[in-house]
Amino acid sequence: MHGAENLLEEGVLWIGRGFKVRFLNFAAAKFLDLPLRHVVGRSLDAIDHSVLHQAKELLIKSGEQGCAVSQTLSIEGKGYFELVAEERRRGRGVVVLRDRTDQRQVIEMGKAFVANASHELRTPITIIKGFAETLQDVPNLSKEVLQEITEKMVRNCSRMENLVKSLLTLADLETLPASRLQECDVLSVIETCAHLLAPLYPEASLEVCTYQDSALLRADPHILELALFNLFENAAKYSAKPAVIAVDVLVEGEELHIAIKDQGIGIASQDLERIFDRFYTVDKARSRKLGGAGIGLSIVKTVVQKLDGTITVSSEMGKGTTFHLTLPLKGVESF
Ligand code: ADP
């Protein structure tokens, strides 16, 4: 059996004549951090709590307007709340406190995402605009300078293009339909990734170690490839040349384990838990130079979650990094 406090999530206060508290539930007592005996029987403005003072003002407003009114507020250490009040007569009414902390976090995350994306896009736009103005204002630039400028403009256009592509991929992943999932062999996806990686990082070597002939999963092969490629590319990017990347693939029971191990620069422990966040980079300047904006690993994590799997990372500075993926094999037998 659940306790009553679990069933009624809203904080509820029943207010009697003269704005006296007649009753409050467990949730209200918890949100306000007030023991019931300090509140019941006392007038809202006689209790030392700013939320209750605001509740009284809201009740008065509700009485004036003849309908329920609400406002949002924060309670220190508790989060964000919607305070709703409805007054009937001479202070009598009801006050409800709804916890809106989760909703607020989603809104804040959305705002941060837009701010980060805009910032990342603005930088190359500013650079391209500056060079375009130079081309417009300075006649007779030498052939070498012209070439240098156009190269930089093209590089920054590519940077924007990559960023927009990554953002669209993230949006696409959110709405991935189940119809795109099909049987795919992880070993052949890894092989495709190796072919894609070779021309970009000719000195990097991908060494696959497995006892499996195949490793079948129910997934969208393109997004699985995207996730694995991101991990291989990072392993190559963040290693001294020639990068050696070891890939272990193992089927154990109902799970597929993939470990991607490099001998690169490593990741400091304080960065480890943040590297999967959107736009998080350990060294912004270095990532930009290498053509990244901190989106790659957030795409990887989203893909892994979509496949009901998990991803963890372990690393030692100067020694290397290993990403461990665990993906359920479920669903394959239904083909
Ligand atoms: P980006 O590579 O564009 O910066 P990612 O989301 O792919 O963005 O990675 C986030 C950060 O994690 C990178 O900035 C990098 O510092 C770190 N990182 C990722 N993979 C590795 C790796 N294999 N070795 C060392 N650092 C890594």
Tens digits of pLDDT across the chain (335 residues): 455 446 788 999 999 999 999 999 999 999 999 888 889 999 999 999 999 999 999 999 999 999 999 999 999 888 999 999 999 888 899 999 999 999 988 888 888 888 888 888 898 899 999 999 999 999 888 999 999 999 999 989 988 998 898 888 888 887 878 778 889 999 999 999 999 999 989 999 999 999 888 888 988 888 899 999 999 999 999 999 999 999 999 999 889 999 999 999 999 999 998 999 988 888 888 887 777 788 899 999 999 998 899 999 999 999 999 999 999 986 554 43
Q: Is the pTM of this model over 0.75?
A: no
For residue 99, the SS3 value is strand
For residue 326, give Cα distances in angstroms to 226, 252, 259.
Answer: 16, 10, 9
CA 143 to chain centre: 45
Separation CA 121–CA 168 (nearest Å)? 14
Ligand 1 atom nearest 299 alpha carbon: 6
For the chain, strand residue ranges (E) read 11-16, 20-24, 69-75, 79-89, 92-99, 182-185, 205-210, 216-219, 244-252, 255-262, 310-316, 320-328
Alpha carbon of 294 to ligand 1 centroid (Å): 7
Q: Is 204 in the pocket of ligand 1 (CB under 6 A)?
A: no
Q: Is 95 in the pocket of ligand 1 (CB under 6 A)?
A: no
Q: Is 313 in the pocket of ligand 1 (CB under 6 A)?
A: no
Ligand 1 atom nearest 280 alpha carbon: 10
Only one residue has tokens 């170690």, namely: 209
Question: How would you classify the pairing of strands 255-262 and 244-252?
Answer: antiparallel
Ligand 1 atom nearest 281 alpha carbon: 14
Q: Is 321 in the pocket of ligand 1 (CB under 6 A)?
A: yes
Please state whether the peptide bond connecting residue 124 to the residue before it is cis, i.e. omega within 30 degrees of 0.
no
Q: Which amino acid residue places its CA nearest to atom 4 of ligand 1?
A: 294
Alpha carbon of 252 to ligand 1 centroid (Å): 28
Separation CA 53–CA 67 (nearest Å)? 19
